[in-house]
Every structure is written in C-alpha cells, then in structure tokens.
Structure 1
Amino acid sequence: MYRFLLTPRWWGINLFVVLAIPFCVFMGTWQLGRFEDRVQSHEEAEKQPDPGTRTAKPLAELLPVDQETSGRPAVTTGTYADQFLVPGRKLDDRDGFYVLNLLRTDSGKALPVVRGWLPGTAGRADVPAAPAGEVTVTGDLQASENTGSDGVSTSGGLPEGQLGMISAASLVNLVPYDVYDAWVTLPEPEAGGSGGSMKPVPAVAAQGSGLDLKAFQNLGYTGEWFVFGGFVLFMWFRLVRREAEAARDVELGLAADAD
C-alpha cells in the first residue's frame, strides 16, 4: 500500500520534509538563543551598580563601546572646540535640546561631549559657553546613535550649528578632524544662561540589550518556526494518508488507477 513512497514524486516530497523540519528547528532554536541572550544581558544590567558609583576608566580602555562598556564612566583630557545643538530631545517629558561640544584630545581625535540639556527651542535659548583651556572630562560612555531619537529626522535640513544625531558619521563633514565613534554625557549639571542651569542627560541602555520589544519578537519568531516545522510534518502525514487511501480504493476496485 505504501509503495508509492518510492516513486520519484514522493522522493522529492520526502526530501523536502527531511530538509525543512531540521531547518525550522534550527531557526527556532537560534531565535530562542537570541531571546535568552537578551534576558541574560538584562539581568547583568540590573546587577550593575549605578554609573555614579563605578570607578571611571580611561576612554581608550572602554572602546569600542559594547553592551558591557556602554554607560561606564570614562575619563579623558582635552580642549573644547566646536559646539552643536541637538534639537528635539525630551527630558522629564519636556521638549528641549542637547548642548554638545567636541573635546579635542591628545590622540588627535575629538570626543563628542553632551554637556547637558536645556528646555526650549535650539537656536533661541541662551546657551552657556564651554570651559576654556584644558579640562578633564568624566562622563558616561554611549555608543553612536544609528537613528534619530524621539522621532528626530537625521536627513539634514537643520540650521547651521545643529545636529540630528550624535555619531561620527554625522560629524565627519562638519569638522576638519577625526571624531570618536562614541560620546559621553556629563553626570553633573553645568551652569546655564538665561534658560537656567543645564540638566545632565542620563545614560541609556545599549542597543540590543534588555527586555524590549525586539526581545519578545525573538520569542515570537521561536514559536513561529516550531509551528512551521510541525505544519510541514502534519501535511506530510496528511498527504501520505490520502495517497494510501487512494491506493486502497484502487486495490478494492472502488476507484480507477490513474497512476
């Protein structure tokens, strides 16, 4: 009754099933591993002490920025140079902007430093000048932004002296020197202008860590791949049963043999 499984057509079906099921299991296991990695990184982040209580390390020791070094206090020395405003940034549900200065270090590269946040519209509020001369900066290390924050467009169209996102790629055509692919935010406020004192910008978690929406998407994809594998197996059994019933009907003379 099951001799049809040896026909060329069924050889192709069987080969597809033999390859599809392990592939679905592999993809489901891989997505589950991604979810478990995110859970582990979230648990490790919860165990980390507050940024203010951790010992600052030289900037060079913390680069490149990854999930482990993101948010760590970094210290470096240099001289403040160009200043930019980063509009469209919220703090405590209030609209405002970041005040960013490039710190020229002894390495020849410049480190973007977010000195603080001010309420209002960038370009209209009074912005305090950066300290003159050589300074030592200690700030929480952050990875370069890949997309604009809070819906800020990164495609240009901003007035001169303003920046859509904080990254070396967005600064490469604005300054005549190399820029680190990272930035720091000062944990202590600086004195402001007429708009009041600048508020420190808190460090954010590294991208790809924590139990965010993408983490639960990985968990959902895990279930989908296992369902796909089960569906392939279910359809194979259903086709085999239908083919066997057709062969039995032919043997009993209940149906014509159509090959």
Structure 2
Amino acid sequence: MYRFLLTPRWWGINVFVLLAIPFCVFMGSWQLSRFEGRVHDQHAATEQAASGRHETARPLARMLPVDKLTSGRRVTATGRYDKQLLVPDRQLDDKRGFYVLTLLRTSSGSSLPVVRGWLPGTADPAKAPAAPRGEVTVTGALQAPETPGDNGVSAQGGLPAGQTAAISTASLVNLVPDKLYAAWVTLDHADAGMKAVPAAAPDGTGLDLKAFQNLGYTGEWFVFAGFTVFMWFRLLRREVEFARDAELGLLPEEEREQEDASAPTAV
C-alpha cells in the first residue's frame, strides 16, 4: 500500500519536507532571539538611565561618539546659547506638546543641541522661554541623533520656520549654520517652568514596532513548519486512500493505468 513512497515524486516531497521543517524552525528561533535581544536591550537601557541620573556627569568630549553604552549617560558641556528651535508633536506624561531646543555653541566651535524642556500644547515661539545669556554649563543625559520614522519621530516637511521634526544633524544642518555635534542633550532640570524630558532608549532597542515584528515573524515561521507537516500528512492520507481504492478496483480505468505506470518496477 505504501509503495508510492518509493516513487520519484514522493522522494522529492520527502526531501522538501525534511529540509523545510528545520529551516522554518531555525528562522523562527532566530527571529525569537532578536525579539529577546531587544527586550534585554530595553532592560539594560532602563537600568542605565536610572543609574545615570545618579552618576557624576562627565565631559561631553569623553562620551562621544554616542552608542548603546554612552546613550543616557550624564554629561556636561560649557558654552553660550544661540539659536532656538521648537520640536512639535512630542508626548510627555500622555500629553501632547513640544520640546524647546536651543543650540549651545561650545569653545570647540561646534554647537550642541540642548533640549531645555517640554511645554504642553501647540508649538508656539511665544510660549518658549528665552535661553539664559552669557556662558553656561549644562548637565544632562546624552542622546543619539534621532531618525525620522523611529520612536514616533515624524519626517521633516511642511513645518513653520523655527521648527524641526527630528533632533538630528540631517534635520538641523539646513537650519543652523554652525558645525553640529552628532548628539544632543536633555537637561536634568528644565529651565523656566518647563518639564524635563527623560532620556530615551537608543534606536534599535526597546519594545518598538520592529521588536513586535520580530515576534510576529517568529510565529509565522513556526506556523509554516506546522503547515508543512500538515500538508505532508494530508498528501500521505490521500495517496493511501488512492492506493486502497486501486487495490479494491474502485478506480476508473484511466486512473488505474496511471497508477500502474507510476508504480516502481521490481528488479
């Protein structure tokens, strides 16, 4: 009854199934490991941000470039505040508002974007308090440049003068003539009645949309593996029923001739 398993067609089916199932399991496991890695990164970033609030601030130059190890760490920089911009559509404590971003021109000649605080409502220059005059020393959490599309950051475009959608060199280069640091700082203590903006997890970490995509892909690959097994058993059952009908002579003449032609020849 199971002679059909020796036919070339079934050899091909069996080889495909034997290769497809381990491949699906491997890909599902790999996607799961990526999701678990993002969970681990989120926990590490949260712990780092919590510990960073109590650590001694270090000079900005010693903490660059920004990476997963330095993001969220406390830094200090000295300079003079210059151009001020607003960053609209930013959420804090489940409320919509905007960041007040001021460029700090340092002695190196480069300017450091500093988020001095957050205010509720629509971005309005009249609401934003002026930056302190003279030389100041700022202390806050170091952040990597934002990428439009990540962490809820919208793409630049259609904004009024004096506003930017993302805090990044690419977004600020056309708004600020100075050379910019590839980083920004959010102050520990906001200026003039604004709320301080907490440090955000660096891009590529945390339970964002990409992380849950990895989890979804994990389920898809395991479903593919189960579907492959299901289809193999379904084809096997169909062939067994076909062979049983052939033995009982219940097949039409044409199908009986096809069955005889596909059967392996005894040596």
- The aligned counterpart of 1:145 is 146
- The aligned counterpart of 2:265 is none
CA distance in 1, matches of 2:128, 2:46: 35
Q: Deviations over 1:71-121 (max 9, x none)?
A: 211222333332111123343444432211122334443221111223444
Give the unaligned 5+ runs of structure 2.
260-267
> Please, which of 196, 202, 211 is the counterpart of residue 200 of structure 1?
196
- The aligned counterpart of 1:235 is 231
Q: Deviation at 1:136?
A: 2.7
SS in 1 for 2:113: strand
* 2:88–2:122 CA contact under 8 A, matched in 1: yes
Q: Deviation at 1:29?
A: 0.4
CA distance in 1, matches of 2:258, 2:105: 83
- The aligned counterpart of 1:123 is 124
CA distance in 2, matches of 1:42, 1:96: 25
Amino acid paired to 2:67: D
* 1:90–1:150 CA contact under 8 A, matched in 2: no
Change (3 A) 1:40 1:164: closer
CA distance in 1, matches of 2:93, 2:208: 21
Length, aligned pairs only: 254
Change (3 A) 1:113 1:15: same
Amino acid paired to 1:40: H
Change (3 A) 1:135 1:124: closer
- Which has more radius of gyration? 2
Amino acid paired to 1:178: K
Change (3 A) 1:98 1:226: same
What TM-score do the two structures reach when normalised by structure 1? 0.82
Once structures 1 and 2 are overlaid, which stretch shifts more, 161-170 or 239-248?
A: 239-248
Whether 2:86 is the aligned partner of 1:85: answer: yes
Q: Deviation at 1:224?
A: 2.7
- The aligned counterpart of 2:220 is 224
Amino acid paired to 2:105: R
- The aligned counterpart of 1:52 is 53
Q: Deviation at 1:185?
A: 0.5
CA distance in 2, matches of 1:63, 1:29: 35
Amino acid paired to 2:137: T
Q: Deviations over 1:214-238 (max 9, x none)?
A: 5454334323321210210121122
Amino acid paired to 2:15: L
What TM-score do the two structures reach when normalised by structure 2? 0.80
CA distance in 1, matches of 2:71, 2:194: 23
Give the unaligned 5+ runs of structure 1.
192-196
Change (3 A) 1:148 1:200: farther
